[in-house]
Amino acid sequence: MAFDRLIEKAAKLQNPMVAGLDPKLDIIPEKIRERAFEQYGKTLEGAAAAILECNKELIDALCDVVPAVKPQCAYYELYGWQGMKALRDTIAYADEKGMFVIADGIRSYFGNAMQAYAEAYLGETDVGGGRTPVFGADALTVNGYFGSDGVKPLLRACREFDKGIFVLVKTSNPSSNELQNQAFEGGELLYEAMGRFCEQWGEDLPGRYGYSGVGAVIQPTWPNQLRDLRRMMPHTLFLIPEYESGSADDITPAFNANGLGAMVSTSRPLFCAWKKMGAPQEDFAKCARESAIRTRDEIMAHIGAIRL
Amino acid sequence: MAFDRLIEKAAKLQNPMVAGLDPKLDIIPEKIRERAFEQYGKTLEGAAAAILECNKELIDALCDVVPAVKPQCAYYELYGWQGMKALRDTIAYADEKGMFVIADGIRSYFGNAMQAYAEAYLGETDVGGGRTPVFGADALTVNGYFGSDGVKPLLRACREFDKGIFVLVKTSNPSSNELQNQAFEGGELLYEAMGRFCEQWGEDLPGRYGYSGVGAVIQPTWPNQLRDLRRMMPHTLFLIPEYESGSADDITPAFNANGLGAMVSTSRPLFCAWKKMGAPQEDFAKCARESAIRTRDEIMAHIGAIRL
């Protein structure tokens, strides 16, 4: 099962981190940008070339420290089909370097259209009788508003192609309380109901280490929330986005005594580490690596060793 | 405001239909497929070429009958970046032919990533100082699970670029009851709450004909549901997907006495009209046109004239 692979990679590197590859043009080092613009002009093609180059340097610098990457699809669609090509090439490069790839597209639909997303990101597409992989990610993030019909096509692809999904459960943006934190009759909150479904959907994709192939995107807004969700969702791997240095205390409740249970994603702090470190911009990848190592150490100091 | 334009187009053609452009390879006429495969091989490129050709023929056949098209992004992502290029070219072609384009991507996020989606589908992307449109749609479908933070970046783009959004409110898939139909404490159902937010978000984008720039995707499962939603959401334009011939009665509650209030989308019945009509496959676009005219007449017989 795909998340067994992810967990094993995390254990091997003793690091539950995910590097968010969200390369908006304005945070890409100037030299890389200029080089791409020289070759392709200030075009979507040029932007896409810069993104890919930047990602590759980051992947090279991180692949023996960080087990997984999470490209946010929005930042690739932002540069059109050229950006989507960079997404595909980024995924292929990370895969080649042994990293687990989570495509952060938060797709939602049901039936045939969700089947199409499943084939595009996790499976294979039928092209005139032959089948070909498309974006080739290991996992996809998903919005479960449609209920089970919106997830079943993905579960089929997960089984067939050894992949996983992360369902959006709880986010920490200020307005998340408008819907997610509202209580249904009987007292269950909307995000708790979504979490309950994750457990249920995951029953079909059991994993070797106690976590199913259906994970959950969880951004806790208060410490006990994470503890409660962990208790309610014992078989669900958490993906905690937007980790900021210094908040390791907040995320430890997601892990068990063996250091298993969650993957922790960080993006901008890696991309922009060179600024914070007062280093020249050319050293951005080296600085990202140093920052990743510090973040790893910080998290590992709180959760202890990752033991399988 | 964008939906004023859409409503005016519908009034001009006396037709509230939207043609869903969901060109999965297996429903594309064989001749188009073969031609594309001959040129590009059985590849994603070949698939994308077939899709674009099929869409263009449909757009040519429909553009003086149907005011809008709705490409379902999943069926383009299914064919990789090549498919996304076909999506961009399809949107440009429909726009050139005077059709309103709804990109059916049901995107969801918040903050910068949603801003990226807004720029990609509705606005312009900054490329090294110059700004360029990317996919160039007139409207985007959206999942509102994040609450207002997930919609505000889109509202800004709607204002700046004269665009609209349709928020997923109620779907008719069997499992939609698992979450959407659940009642919050106080009795409001989840989809009703989502509808209430649509009205609220739309206040910033008022339209000339009483409908704001924030529409709603509504697939009613029982007749009174649509009537209730119409009453609760008086300023929200409905997008009713997957219309099937013979169900005009079910959708009329979405319209007011002037024939305003909803757009009705249909896809597969158009693509596959030639089969049902026993016509040769080469006539698929002609048959789609005839089918669209019949569907238009059927709907218009129920809602009367569209009067501005």
Phi, psi angle pair for B233, to nearest 5°: -130, 65
Give A96's contacts (C-beta < 8 A, 6+ positions apart). Answer: none
CB-nearest to B25 from A110, A114, A127 is A127
Q: pLDDT class for A231, splitting at 50, 70, 90?
A: very high
Residue B223 pLDDT > 80, yes or no? Answer: no
| ipTM beyond cut 0.95 | yes
CA distance, residue B295 to nearest chain A CA (Å): 23
CB atoms within 10 A of CB A44: 21
SS3 B72: strand
Beta bridge partners of B170: B218
- Would you say the C-alpha torsion A140, A145, A151, A153 has a positive or negative sign? negative
Largest CA distance in chain B: 61
Q: Which residue has the tokens 């797709």?
A: A107
| Chain B contact set for A150 (CB, 8 A) | 173, 175
- For B54-102, the pLDDT digits (tens) are 999 999 999 999 999 999 999 999 999 999 999 999 999 999 999 999 9
pLDDT on residue A129: 87
| Chain B contact set for A119 (CB, 8 A) | 78
Average pLDDT on A272-285 reads 94
Half-sphere exposure of A201 (CA within 13 A, CB side): 32
Average pLDDT on B286-303 reads 98
- Beta-carbon separation of A129 and B77 below 8 A: no
- Beta-carbon separation of B127 and A82 below 8 A: no
| Chain B contact set for A79 (CB, 8 A) | 120, 125, 127, 134
Q: pLDDT class for B238, splitting at 50, 70, 90?
A: very high
With beta carbons less than 8 A apart as the criterion, state whether B83 and B75 touch: yes
User: According to DSSP H, which parts of B102-142 are helical?
Assistant: 111-121
Chain-centroid distance, C-alpha A33: 25
**Mean pLDDT over each residue of chain A, to the nearest integer:** 96
- Beta-carbon separation of B147 and A173 below 8 A: yes
Average pLDDT on B20-36 reads 94
Q: pLDDT class for A223, splitting at 50, 70, 90?
A: confident
Burial degree of B212 (CB within 10 A; 0-12, 13-18, 19+) = buried
pLDDT on residue B35: 96
CA distance, residue B82 to nearest chain A CA (Å): 7
- Cα A216 from Cα A183, distance rounded (Å): 19
**Mean pLDDT over each residue of chain B, to the nearest integer:** 96
CA distance, residue B297 to nearest chain A CA (Å): 28
- Beta-carbon separation of A26 and B147 below 8 A: no
CB-nearest to A85 from B81, B144, B177 is B81
pLDDT on residue B296: 98
- Beta-carbon separation of A74 and B120 below 8 A: yes
pLDDT on residue A222: 80
In chain A, pLDDT over 90 holds for what percent of residues?
Answer: 95
| Chain B contact set for A77 (CB, 8 A) | 84, 116-117, 120-121, 134-135
Average pLDDT on A245-264 reads 95
Give A191's contacts (C-beta < 8 A, 6+ positions apart). Answer: A169, A170, A180, A181
In chain B, pLDDT over 90 holds for what percent of residues?
Answer: 95
What angle do the packed helices B44-62 and B30-40 form, to 10 degrees? 140
pLDDT on residue B237: 98
Average pLDDT on B249-276 reads 95
Average pLDDT on B288-292 reads 98
Average pLDDT on B1-16 reads 97
- Beta-carbon separation of B80 and A110 below 8 A: no
SS3 B210: coil
- Beta-carbon separation of B80 and A174 below 8 A: no
Tokens standing for residue B112 = 């910068």
- For A75-115, the pLDDT digits (tens) are 999 999 999 999 999 999 999 999 999 999 999 999 999 99
With beta carbons less than 8 A apart as the criterion, state whether A251 and A27 touch: no
- For B113-130, the pLDDT digits (tens) are 999 999 999 999 999 888
Domains of chain B are 2-302 (3.20.20.70)
- Beta-carbon separation of B176 and A146 below 8 A: yes
- For B185-199, the pLDDT digits (tens) are 999 999 999 999 999
- Which stretch of A129-133, B68-72, B262-266, B294-298 has the lowest confidence by average pLDDT? A129-133
User: According to DSSP H, which parts of chain B are helical?
Assistant: 2-13, 30-40, 44-62, 74-77, 80-96, 111-121, 152-161, 190-202, 223-232, 248-251, 268-271, 273-276, 284-303
- Beta-carbon separation of A185 and B190 below 8 A: no
Burial degree of B276 (CB within 10 A; 0-12, 13-18, 19+) = exposed
| A233 residue type, one letter | M
The pTM (predicted TM-score) of the whole model is 0.98
pLDDT on residue B104: 98
A171: nearest CA in chain B? B146
DSSP string, chain A: -HHHHHHHHHHHHT--EEEEE---GGGS-HHHHHHHHHHH-SSHHHHHHHHHHHHHHHHHHHTTT-SEEEEBTHHHHTTHHHHHHHHHHHHHHHHHTT-EEEEEEEE---HHHHHHHHHHHTSEEEETTEEEESS--SEEEE--TT-GGGTHHHHHHHHHHT-EEEEEEE--SGGGGGTTTPBBTTS-BHHHHHHHHHHHHHTTS--TTS--SEEEEE--SSHHHHHHHHHH-TT--EEE-S--TT-HHHHGGGS-TTS-SEEEEE-HHHHTHHHHTT--GGGHHHHHHHHHHHHHHHHHHHH-----
Residue B16 pLDDT > 90, yes or no? Answer: yes
Residue B222 pLDDT > 90, yes or no? Answer: no
- Cα A192 from Cα A230, distance rounded (Å): 11
Average pLDDT on A191-216 reads 97
With beta carbons less than 8 A apart as the criterion, state whether A2 and A213 touch: yes
- Beta-carbon separation of B148 and A178 below 8 A: yes
CB-nearest to A127 from B46, B174, B175 is B46
- Residue B79: C-alpha distances to residues B23, B51, B88 (Å): 11, 10, 13
pLDDT on residue B66: 98
Chain-centroid distance, C-alpha A261: 15
- For A163-177, the pLDDT digits (tens) are 999 999 999 999 999
